[in-house]
Amino acid sequence: MPAPAPPAAPAPGTDDRALLRGILVHDIRRDLRRHLRPMLAWYLLFTAFATVAAAPLTTWSLAALLHWIERPFAGDLDGVRDNLLALAWLMLAGALSWYVVMLQQAGMLLVSASHGCRYRTAAAALLGMLRRAVPLAMLAALQMAAHAVLALPWLAIGAALYWLLLRGYDPSFVLVARPAALWWFLGGFLPVLAIGVLLHATLYFRWLLATPALVLEGHSPLGALRRSRTLTRGRHLRIATLVAGVALTVAALPLAVTWLYQQGATPLLDWLPEHRLLLSLGMVAYLTLNAATVLGALLLGTTLNTLLVRALFHRLGGARGCRAVDATPHHPGRLVWGAEAAFLAVALVQASLAVGSMNLRREVTVTAHRGAALMAPENTLAAFQAAIDAGADAIEFDVRLSADGAVVVFHDSDFRRIANDPRPVAETPLAGMRDIDIGSWFDPRFSGERIQTLSEALAFIDRRALALVELKPDADNADALLAATLREIRRSGHQDVVVLASLSPELVRAARAEAPGARLALFANAALPGTARRTDFDLLGLNHLQVDAGAVADARRRGYRLQAWTVNDPVRMARYMDLGVDDISTDVPELAVRLRGERAALTDVELLLVRLHSWFRH
């Protein structure tokens, strides 16, 4: 069926301000009264669809791509090829995520353009969304491809500036010392980035109405993009202002709900009786109410955004496309209330599972990051002794390969940050670095600290703590570093108290092949799908900002230990202990050990209440 002839878009002019004000004051308020309950029914149906179909297919597709390109991208990226593959993966992840958002918006647009029973309207919208799934996928692909092409120039300029100005510096030195080259880089790149962001924003608002053009007017993907460009021409700034204002409101809703609970409801938990069963029941009720409220805020925010897009589309000349649902059940209210009751039942079950799974174990271990790196200079014997004195269970330190093949304890690729010495570690023999003072930068009291070999570090620790040895290879010596490290560990006789770690999944797999009995750890800034399945490790160290209940559940399911690094805030330490991580890496092990001891002294009821407070703190 050909698309209906839409009314012409009004010419931009002095009435734009009144037009956009009318959208906020009249259209959205009217549509909220009419469509909020049908939107709720649709939200429940789409959530079920996303849980059963969309989310698993998206995760499987991304994991399959990682398997095909043989790059899990869990840690550092090295080389042009790795960076290009990572960029391609991120683009696909963004396209799939955007596609799921478009599917949800398409269904909401169909609901808002329909009249009839709430439940049947939502079911009809689900079928209508599925019928448009392929055109919507093509539309998402076109939009993502356009943004990718638009990003190439500023990404290339950024890469070129980095190559010219910063490639000779170790990243740690750049972050700490902030040399003049960094400011030259930022001065050259930030204006380019600002222009790029402006162009991306312009393209986004130019195509903001493409989804309703496809869904409500029946345009093809290309036709929907052209239609949106026609409707928005000359109004990008006013549309952007309106959309940004609504977006900020939407983003603030869950935060406001959380704040209200923290200020009003959470203090009431202290009034719960100190009885395990009654406390657990109270927690289940509290979590259920909180989950329902937060999800209700998310529904309201999603509805506001969709109704804004629909109102813009209609006000700027798009067809309304209203229709009625042909058939309605005899008791539509019962079906809607049944769906809402099912939603609350799911929230109740999830809350019960959350309370039942709250970790009451007290055997969380503490790892001293680079020794006790806030108490003594990192990767030195003084830092190791401070970690041992603090009661740390493990000491993490970094090793590199010197020019003459010695395995030395050092983090950066050169000595610039620690000793103002630009020589690369890989080009300096062991004898040439023995006189480097690696303690004075921290405090003059540590001026006698010198670089140690791996063997010397293991002998000093002497089984008083587990040694977590992170391999820091340079571009061309990863295999040599691994071989030399394994050789030194065997010679030292400390194989049973050493864990080998790396940010490179390939290096971890190589270590497993060379030493099948070794304990291995993979460090990662984010655990992308497929990493855990394809990399054989005993411990996954995650950037603590990426640690959540899902990461803990994955670790339990796959049978590896989970570490959160690097955590120096006691509130966050408590949060991760409550989530159930197995290990916390910190620069202040004394603080973590003390916190662990304080929590160990609590009764189960006291600990359960403390953990509920921590659950809602972030």
Q: What is the pLDDT of residue 400?
A: 96
Q: What is the pLDDT of residue 307?
A: 83
pLDDT at 345 over 60: yes
**Beta partners for 562?**
540
329-337 contacts at long range (C-beta below 8 A, 24 or more positions apart): 329/117, 329/119, 329/120, 332/117, 332/118, 332/119, 332/120, 335/117, 335/118, 335/119, 336/37, 336/40, 336/41, 336/118, 336/119
Q: Torsion angle of alpha carbons 430, 433, 434, 440, nearest 10°?
A: -150
Q: What is the pLDDT of residue 115?
A: 67
pLDDT at 343 over 50: yes
Q: What is the pLDDT of residue 475?
A: 80
Q: What is the pLDDT of residue 329?
A: 45
Residue of 52 and 434 predicted with greater confidence: 434
Query: What average pLDDT does range 535-551 have in this prediction?
Result: 85
83-90 contacts at long range (C-beta below 8 A, 24 or more positions apart): 87/155, 89/62, 89/65, 89/528
Query: What average pLDDT does range 167-192 have in this prediction?
Result: 90
Using alpha carbons, list the distances in angstroms from residue 502 to 63, 223, 228, 492, 515. Answer: 21, 49, 48, 21, 15
Q: What is the pLDDT of residue 279?
A: 61
pLDDT at 398 over 90: yes
Chain centroid, CA 149 distance in Å: 25
Q: Which residue has the tokens 């629909």?
A: 310
Residue of 599 and 521 predicted with greater confidence: 521
State what percent of residues in the chain have pLDDT above 70: 72
Using alpha carbons, list the distances in angstroms from residue 606 to 226, 370, 601, 616. Answer: 62, 34, 10, 16
| Two structure tokens written together for 41 | 């029914």
DSSP assignment of 371-436 equals TTTTTS-TTSHHHHHHHHHHT-SEEEEEEEE-TTS-EEE--SSEEHHHHSEEEEGGGS-HHHHTT-
Q: What is the pLDDT of residue 327?
A: 43
Query: What average pLDDT does range 539-559 have in this prediction?
Result: 85
Q: What is the pLDDT of residue 14?
A: 42
Residue of 75 and 150 predicted with greater confidence: 150
pLDDT at 442 over 90: yes
Of 152, 58, 25, 155, nearest in space to 528 by CA: 58
Q: Torsion angle of alpha carbons 419, 425, 427, 430, nearest 10°?
A: 90
pLDDT band, residue 240 (cuts 50/70/90)? confident
Of these ranges, 14-23, 228-237, 422-431, the one predicted with the greatest mean pLDDT is 422-431
Question: Cα separation of 563 and 540, whole Å?
Answer: 6
Q: What is the pLDDT of residue 594?
A: 92
pLDDT at 516 over 70: yes
Q: What is the pLDDT of residue 356?
A: 56
Residue 523 DSSP label: E
Q: What is the pLDDT of residues 376-389, one digit of tens each?
A: 999 999 999 999 99
Q: What is the pLDDT of residue 3?
A: 46
Q: What is the pLDDT of residue 528?
A: 56
Say if CB 53 and CB 69 are below 8 A apart: no
pLDDT band, residue 314 (cuts 50/70/90)? confident
Of these ranges, 329-338, 344-353, 446-455, the one predicted with the greatest mean pLDDT is 446-455
Q: What is the pLDDT of residue 104?
A: 87
pLDDT band, residue 538 (cuts 50/70/90)? very high
Residue 453 DSSP label: B
Q: What is the pLDDT of residue 13?
A: 45
Say if CB 425 and CB 433 are below 8 A apart: yes
- List Cβ neighbours of 181 (8 Å cut-off, separation of 6 or more): 165, 166, 169, 174
pLDDT at 549 over 80: no
Q: What is the pLDDT of residues 250-306, one digit of tens each?
A: 778 777 777 776 666 666 666 666 655 666 666 667 666 766 677 777 777 788 888
Question: Cα separation of 350 and 391, whole Å?
Answer: 37
State what percent of residues in the chain have pLDDT above 90: 40
Q: What is the pTM assigned to this prediction?
A: 0.75
Query: What average pLDDT does range 411-432 have in this prediction?
Result: 93
- Give CA angle at 276 (271, 282), nearest 5°: 50
| Two structure tokens written together for 606 | 């006291």
Q: What is the pLDDT of residues 76-124, one digit of tens each?
A: 445 555 566 666 766 777 787 888 888 888 888 888 877 655 667 777 7
Query: What average pLDDT does range 176-205 have in this prediction?
Result: 93
Length of the chain counted residue by residue: 618
Q: What is the pLDDT of residues 453-507, one digit of tens each?
A: 999 999 999 999 999 999 999 888 999 999 999 999 999 999 999 999 998 888 9
Query: What average pLDDT does range 213-217 have in this prediction?
Result: 90
The chain-wide mean pLDDT, for the chain, equals 80
pLDDT band, residue 19 (cuts 50/70/90)? low
Residue of 30 and 362 predicted with greater confidence: 30
Determine phi and psi for 342, rounding to 5 degrees: -65, -40
Question: Cα separation of 176 and 416, whole Å?
Answer: 11
Of the ranges 10-24, 519-533, 574-588, which one carries the lowest mean pLDDT score? 10-24
Task: Decide the pairing of beta strands 394-401 and 407-409.
Answer: antiparallel
Query: What average pLDDT does range 533-538 have in this prediction?
Result: 74
